[in-house]
Amino acid sequence: MATFYLLPPRACLDDMLGGLLSKLLPGLPLPVDAWDMLTDRLASTGSWPADVYLIPRDDLPDGQPPADALVAAFGAEPGDRVIEVGLNGGPRTWAVPGGVSALVPAR
């Protein structure tokens, strides 16, 4: 069973990371792809399971409910865990329901 972290949009993540790094390393420029570099490094050294995915919200297709979008764009399956991380408040955890409308129809 996979776990999908549904994160704020990339622009928010970049701003938050930039704010942190500017406090830790004042005067050093932030690489353009800092967020991607950080997540790749953490995934490779953090001993995370292979079925953990970090998905910025703006990587989801527009106009679909999150569960449908995760199924259609990222291969989520019924029962997979989703942890929605917002900018305000704590995370919300839910499971991908069965019978999601974005499932590919039978041929």
User: What are the boundaries of each domain within the chain?
Assistant: 3-95
Confidence at residue 32, expressed as pLDDT on a 0 to 100 scale: 82
Confidence at residue 102, expressed as pLDDT on a 0 to 100 scale: 44
φ/ψ region of 45 (left if φ > 0, alpha if ψ in -120 to 50, else beta) reads alpha
**106 alpha-carbon distance from chain centroid:** 29
In the chain, the percentage of residues whose pLDDT exceeds 70 is 92
Task: Strand 92-95: give its sheet, edge to edge.
Answer: 52-56, 3-7, 81-84, 92-95
Q: Is the pTM of this model over 0.85?
A: no
Residues 39-64: pLDDT tens digits? 888 878 877 888 999 999 999 998 99
CA torsion sign for 83, 38, 20, 9 is: negative
pLDDT of 104 strictly over 60: no
